[in-house]
Amino acid sequence: MADADGEATSAWLIENRERQRELYGAPLGDRVRRLTGALGISQARLARTLGISPAMLSQLVSARRVKIGDPAVLARMLMLDHRCHGLPRTPDPRAVETLLGEISRARWQWNGPRTAARRARRAAADGTAAAALRGVTDPARLAAAAAALGPSFPELAEVLRQAASRPGA
């Protein structure tokens, strides 16, 4: 009976990892290992930066949970992932701490349609797709949209990531 339970659990975890791949472009365990390795930090430190408990991050990494429930946490993870691409192989620990502080202070806010409409009108003067996207919503929502679109529409996801990474540009 233990073998059957083990096989069922294993199949369930494989299915959860595949669902994460569909949602986030890769299983969250892979993404988290890439971030912790690039930054030289523990999973617990990453969890604090993202704004979730270490236990919750562990459940996501092991695929015992499939989804990141808080859009702000997902947006911070995506922003951190994007910013890690520019880091040297062995980043300066002070630079890592500065980056982690910036990411942990990033806030996702719902600004409602009136505010979004005003931003869209202001961004129209710039004329770029990224500026127009920044005019519609904030960087955290752009990053979350990029994660959702990434597996199916990588080109659009890249434009969204670029818009999210340069909120003041």
- When pLDDT is cut at 50, 70 and 90, the band that residue 2 belongs to is very low
pLDDT tens digit sequence for 16-67:
999 999 999 999 999 999 999 999 999 999 999 999 999 999 999 999 999 9
> What is the distance between the alpha carbons of residues 97 and 86, in angstroms, rounded to a whole number?
15
What's the 3-state SS for 103-144? HHHCCCCCCHHHHHHHHHHHHHCCCCHHHHHHHHCCHHHHHH
The pLDDT > 70 percentage for the chain reads 81
For position 96, what pLDDT does the model report?
Answer: 93
Hey, where are the domains in the chain? 1-105, 114-164
Of 130, 25, 109, 157, nearest to 17 (Cα)?
25
Crossing angle for the helix pair 71-84 and 139-149, nearest 10 degrees?
80
| Phi-psi group of 88: left, alpha or beta (phi > 0 → left; psi -120 to 50 → alpha; rest → beta) | beta
Highest mean pLDDT among 32-41, 85-94, 98-107, 146-155: 32-41
Q: How many CB atoms lie within 10 A of CB 150?
A: 20
Token duo for residue 66: 């499939």
DSSP 86: T
